Structure 1
C-alpha cells in the first residue's frame, strides 16, 4: 500500500473535513460576495443568507462524506439535523458578531472581514460536529 494511501486512511476524517469544510467556506464566501457586492444587499443580511445556505450544504456533506453518519429513522435524522443547526447557530452568532465589529465598528472591507472570520468558524464547526453531533 502506498504511503499516500495509508496517510489518507489514517487521517481520512480530518482530510475530508478540510475538503468539505473548504467547500462550505467557499459556498459561504461566494454567496456573501454575490449578495453583498453584486446585488448590493446590506452586509449583515447578506451574511445571514450565506450562513443559512452554507449550513445546509455543510449538513449534507458532513453527514455523508466526513462523519459517514447513517440514520435509520426520520426521528434520528431530524435529531441530527436540529443538533447540527443548533451548534452551527453558535458559530453563526460568532460570524455575525465578528462581521458587525469588523465592518460596522472597524470599517474593514466586508469581503476581507468575511474571509477573516471563516478561519475561526471552520475550527469551531469541526469541534462541534466531531464531539456533539456526528458521534
Structure 2
C-alpha cells in the first residue's frame, strides 16, 4: 500500500488541489458576477486569475514540491505557470467552440458533455505542463 501511495501521491494531490482550485474559480466568479453584478467577462477573467494563482502555490508546494533559491527562479516559474495555464485556457475555449458551434452540441446536456470532455483534456494538459515543463525545468535552472 505504501508503494502505491508513493507512486500516485502527486497525482492524488494534484486532483485534490484541482478541486479546491475549481471551487475558488466558481465561487469567485459567482460572487463577482451575481453578488457584485460585474460583467460576466470581467468576472471570468478575474476568477481565472485567482484560481490560477491558487493552483500555482498549491501545485508548487504540495504537488510538485518545487523549491527555488532566488527571486529570479520564482518569477520565471510563476510566469511559466501562467503562460501554460493561458495556453490551456485557449485549448478550453477551442474545445468548447468546436463542440458547441461546429459539432452542434447546443443543448444544455450537449454543452455539459462537451465541458466534461474539455475539462478532462485541460486537466491532463495542465498536469503534463506542470510536471515536465514548469516545475521540472526550474530544477535545472536553480542548479545553475
* TM-score calculated relative to the size of structure 2: 0.73
State the number of aligned residues.
130
Q: 1:33 to 1:119 in 2, by over 3 A?
A: farther
Which structure: larger Rg?
Answer: 2
In the alignment, is residue 129 of structure 1 matched against residue 130 of structure 2?
A: yes
SS in 2 for 1:69: coil
- TM-score of the pair, normalised by structure 1: 0.77
Of residues 16-25 and 26-35 in structure 1, the stretch that sits farther from structure 2 once superposed is 26-35
- Root-mean-square deviation (CA), in Å? 3.0
1:40 aligns with 2:52: no
Q: Which runs of 5+ in 2 are unaligned?
A: 101-105, 137-144
Instruction: For residue 36 of structure 1, report the CA deviation from its aligned partner.
Output: 2.6
Shift of 1:126: 1.0
CA distance in 2, matches of 1:6, 1:59: 27
Instruction: Tell me what 1:8 maps to.
Output: 5
In 2: Cα distance, 1:27 partner to 1:121 partner: 17
Mark the runs of 5 or more structure 1 residues left unpaired by the alignment: none
**Cα distance in structure 1, aligned partners of 2:91 and 2:48:** 11
C-alpha distance 62-53 of structure 1, shift in aligned 2 (>3 A): same
Partner residue in 1 for 2:141: none
Preserved contact between residue 48 and residue 96 of structure 1 (Cα < 8 Å): no
Query: What are the superposed Cα offsets for residues 47-78 of structure 1, whole Å, 9 maximum, x if unpaired?
Result: 11110000110111100010001001111111
Partner of 2:142: none
